A and B are shown apart, each in its own frame.
Chain A
Amino acid sequence: MDFALFINSFSNIFQFNVMLAIFIGVAGGIAIGALPGLTGTMGVALLVPFTFGRPSAEGLGMLIGIFSGSMYGGSISAILINTPGTPSAAATSLDGYPLSKKGQAGRALSMSLFASFSGGMIGVIIMTFMSPIIAKAALEFGYVEYFALALFGLSIIISITNESMIKGLISGIFGLLIATIGMDPTSGYPRYTFGRMELLSGPSFIPVLIGLFAVAEVFNSIENLSTQQKLDTKIDRYLPSLTDIKRSTKNIIKSSIIGTAIGSIPGAGGDIAAFVAYGEAKRSSKHPELFGTGEIEAIAAPEAANNACMGGAMIPLLSLGVPGDAITAVLLGAFIMQGLQPGPLLYQEHIDVVYNVFSSMFIANIVMLIFGIIGIRFFVKVITIKKEILFPIIFCLCIVGSFSMRQNIFDIWLSLIFGVIGYLMIRAKFPLSPILLALILGPMAESNLRRSLTVSQGDPSILLSRPIAIGLYIIALLSIISSVIKQKKIRKRLESQSQEKL
């Protein structure tokens, strides 16, 4: 990495508008993360429209802020009401809620904030050093490697599918088909547009995204409205005590490295990173039996890991252009909307943007720390907002957000259609994230497949002609096999549980 560029990028970020964007992003992210039922993906989907037409440093700064904020925000509701605000905070509730029942909510929250901050920072530092190296290696990539990379990215579809692999695959192929709507990139022939001008450039990303991840989620939540949980916890402290920090330092560093490593594997997100770090902290603890009763290390470990995961996830995103999960897929979409295609070429052509991302992430973590200390009383209140009031407003935001990019009613219809599709798919347990990944990776897969096959005049063996491509196929295959095994295990456990109940 280039230190002069790195220092220089801070001067791009320390500008009023950019800082304001990061502040709003972090605050919005924490609030969305803290609200159970609103995931980070939904938050980013809802807030992406706010970045339209802004310079890239502002738009990306805001999105990065949301991303960092939501990772920490999830722990607030996990600790206070035992409902993780985001899946990544599920491990935090194991010990966070017991602590808060003991009247030590402030201790748990401040440790969660401190660990999130440290984890986020360590993740960013590793990313800043690692991603340029990977991008450099990827410069040698040709069509075949890019096709392999897209295929590898698509294999994630299977590993992020929890329940039924076949349903995940159906979602993914369905998404790939949707991605073919519009003008064929090679020949310019309009496919599946049915004469609609609006569809020539493909279904716009933002309305589809808002439909699948926000509208569908609102429909689903309307159906499952539950009574609000009461909150009577007092926050007694805002900073962790020195003894707590001392006790947790080793775990925080270890978990941050685990988190970054897991984050950099496409398909493994913050929730997995948090549980692995929790498991490791428990294994290496002198008192593993106390885990689950309110151990402070048990909060530090998963929180450090899930925030570090973000830095890890940015490595393949920036250097290869492959998103690791739904939320990074949204981030990738936002890059593309800014006219920036992540991948090795980004490091050649827009290295300033890359360094702006690095420094925004640094700043976002610091802002998160500050907001967490002074704003915790406000963010705690967010949990008590009535869902009945929130959902109508979110629905409005969905509609205005879809409209605003091209200022066109057709896009509202698009987001409603995808909202209904998403809702029906959620009901039948078809995962939605594969559609998003497919929308991003589909065009990349198609154009490189066709270019490769054109070069070889239709001979498919060209796809196996490059060693890096073969390596990527093997990794893809391994990730599929490991997730199949994992799913079998989960199924067995579920079966044994249901038998126990009988």
Chain B
Amino acid sequence: MKEKRLPDIVYSLVFMMIGIFSFVIAQGFPEDFIMKLGPDFYPELLSVALIILSLTLFIRTILGKNTSKFIAINIRDKRFQKVIISLGLAILYAMFLKRVGFIPITILFLFAFLLLLNIRKPLTLIAVPIVASFALWFVFQKILTVSLPIGLLSLLGY
């Protein structure tokens, strides 16, 4: 039972912190003498509401009145690890998109992601990233005229 309660306690505390944090920052907003209600009024109102609500959730959970059920996060769970790795891949993708260029990094990203999701057929592993990257490039660059980062290809004088 205790394990089930833990996540809601953590979440309510996190939201409470967000409420306190935004309230404190709003204190620093300038006052508005002409309009009476300055830029701080509304965020403060919301912060207080958030603090009260998360406190309620916290108390209800402690008292055992909260009936939600959870799948607790388990770091050793393989499937959860996949989520973390996929997030890591996305972070790398965002970091290197400008430098490496859209097409090469997308091919690499898709290849790694497919491997992560247990795709082992060589043809799929090669064809899907290449076809998908060029298709995305064509749609965004050529049809929607978004200028995607060129990156390394600029070295080739493209």
Q: Return the CB mask of B64-88 against A: 1 if under 8 Å, else 0.
A: 0011101101000001101100110
Flag whether B43 is at the interface (Cβ < 8 A): yes
Asked if B46 and A170 make an inter-chain contact with CB atoms under 8 angstroms apart, the answer reads no
Q: Is the CB of B145 within 8 A of A53?
A: yes
Assess the A170–B15 pair: CB atoms within 8 A.
yes
Q: Is A416 among interface residues, defined by CB-CB distance under 8 A?
A: yes
With beta carbons under 8 angstroms apart, the residue of B47, B56, B144 that contacts A53 is: B144
A177 contacts B73, C-beta separation under 8 Å: no
- CA A316 – CA B10 in complex, angstroms? 38
Report A137 CB to chain B, min CB distance, Å: 28
Give the docked Cα–Cα distance between A176 and B35 (Å).
22
> Is the CB–CB distance between A396 and B110 below 8 Å?
yes
A183 to B117, CA, bound (A): 42
**Binary B-proximity of A390-432 (CB < 8 A = 1, otherwise 0):** 0111011101100110010100110010011001000111100
Q: Which residues of the other chain, B, contact A163 by a CB distance below 8 angstroms?
A: 68
Complex: A53 Cα to B15 Cα, angstroms: 37
* Interface residues contributed by chain B, number (CB under 8 Å): 67
Which of A166, A174, A413 contacts B56, CB < 8 Å? A166
Cβ of A454 within 8 Å of any chain B Cβ, yes or no, is: yes
A446 at the binding interface (Cβ < 8 Å):
yes
CB pair B32 A187 closer than 8 Å: yes
A418-459 CB mask vs B (1 if < 8 Å, else 0) is 011001000111100000000000000010011001100110
CB of A428 within 8 A of CB of B7, answer yes
Residue interface bits A121-137, CB-to-B below 8 A is 1, else 0: 00000000000000000
Given contacts A187-B32, A189-B30, contact A170 B50 (CB under 8 A): yes
Beta-carbon contact of A174 and B15 below 8 Å: yes
Q: Is B128 a contact partner of A393 (Cβ separation < 8 A)? A: yes
Asked if A388 is an interface residue, CB under 8 A from chain B, the answer is yes
Q: Once bound together, how far apart are the Cα atoms of A218 and B116, in whole Å?
A: 14
**Which single member of A413, A427, A450, A491 contacts B70 (CB below 8 Å)?**
A427
Tell me if A9 is interfacial: C-beta within 8 Å of chain B: no
Report chain A residues within 8 Å CB of B117: 222, 225, 388, 391-392
Give bound CA distance, A491 to B119, whole Å: 41
CA distance in complex: A218, B113 (Å): 12
Instruction: Write the chain B residue with the least CB distance to A389.
Output: B128
Q: A349 contacts the other chain (Cβ, under 8 Å)?
A: no
Q: Which residues of A contact B43 (CB under 8 A)?
A: 177, 180, 191-192
Contacts of A429 in B (CB 8 A): 68, 70
CB neighbors of B among A155-203 (8 A): 163-164, 166-167, 169-170, 173-174, 176-177, 180, 184, 186-187, 189, 191-192
Does the CB pair A223–B80 fall under 8 Å? yes
Asked if A141 is at the interface (CB within 8 A of a chain B CB), the reply is no
Whether the pair B46, A413 counts as a contact (CB closer than 8 A) is: no
Inter-chain contact B50/A173, CB cutoff 8 Å: yes
Q: Is B39 a contact of A191 with CB atoms below 8 Å?
A: yes
Q: Give bound CA distance, A219 to B87, whole Å.
A: 8
Minimum CB distance partner of B139 in chain A: A50
Kindly list chain A residues whose C-beta atoms are within 8 Å of the C-beta of B11: 428, 430
Tell me if B38 and A187 are in contact (CB < 8 A): yes
Q: Which of B8, B36, B110 contacts A393 (CB 8 A)?
A: B110
Find out whether the CB atom of A392 lies under 8 angstroms from the CB atom of B146: no
Q: Per-residue CB proximity of A252-269 to B under 8 Å, as 1/0? A: 000000000000000000
In angstroms, Cα B110 to Cα A404, docked, is 19
Once the chains are docked, how many angstroms separate the CA of A430 from the CA of B50? 14
**Contact of B71 (CB < 8 Å), options: A50, A191, A427, A457:** A427
Say yes or no: B68 contacts A164, CB within 8 Å: yes
Are B53 and A388 touching (Cβ within 8 A)?
Answer: no
Contact with A192, one of B25, B54, B70, B124 (Cβ below 8 angstroms): B25
**Interface residue from B37, B49, B53, B128 paired with A454 (Cβ < 8 Å):** B37
B9-37 vs A, CB cutoff 8 Å, 1 = contact: the mask equals 00100010010001001100110100111
The residue among A223, A457, A491 with the most chain B CB atoms within 10 A of its own CB is A223
Chain A: CB-nearest residue to B94 = A412
Instruction: Given A191-B39, A222-B79, A428-B11, answer yes or no on A173-B106 (Cβ-Cβ < 8 Å).
Output: no
Residues of chain B with a CB closer than 8 A to A177's CB: 18, 22, 43, 46-47, 50
B38 to chain A, nearest CB (A): 7
Q: Chain A nearest CB: distance from B57 CB in Å?
A: 5
B97, CB-defined interface residue at 8 Å:
yes
List residues 75-124 of chain B with CB under 8 A from any CB of chain A.
Answer: 79-80, 82-83, 86-87, 90-91, 93-94, 97-98, 102, 106, 109-110, 113-114, 117-119, 124
A392→B114 contact, CB < 8 A = yes
Contacting residues, chain B, for A238 (C-beta < 8 A): none
Contact in complex: B79, A223 (CB < 8 Å): yes
The answer to whether A428 touches B70, judged by C-beta atoms less than 8 angstroms apart, is yes
A461 contacts chain B at the CB level, 8 A cutoff: no
Q: Which residues of A contact B91 (CB under 8 A)?
A: 416
Select B144's contact among A391, A404, A409, A450, beta carbons within 8 Å: A404
Q: Is the CB of A187 within 8 A of B86?
A: no
A339 to B81, CA, bound (A): 42
Residues of chain A whose beta carbon lies under 8 Å from any beta carbon of chain B: 49-50, 52-53, 163-164, 166-167, 169-170, 173-174, 176-177, 180, 184, 186-187, 189, 191-192, 215, 218-219, 222-225, 386, 388-389, 391-393, 395-397, 399-400, 403-404, 407, 409, 412-413, 416, 419-420, 423, 427-430, 446, 449-450, 453-454, 457-458, 491
Q: Can you show 30 pairs from A to B with CB atoms below 8 A apart?
A: A50-B139, A50-B144, A167-B68, A177-B18, A177-B22, A177-B47, A180-B43, A186-B39, A187-B30, A187-B32, A187-B39, A191-B39, A191-B43, A218-B86, A222-B82, A223-B80, A388-B117, A389-B128, A391-B117, A395-B113, A400-B146, A407-B146, A409-B94, A409-B98, A416-B94, A419-B87, A420-B87, A428-B8, A429-B70, A450-B35
Given A215-B90, A393-B128, A404-B140, 18 more pairs with CB closer than 8 A: A166-B60, A167-B57, A170-B50, A174-B15, A177-B22, A177-B46, A186-B39, A187-B35, A191-B39, A219-B86, A222-B82, A223-B82, A389-B114, A389-B128, A391-B117, A395-B90, A404-B146, A429-B68
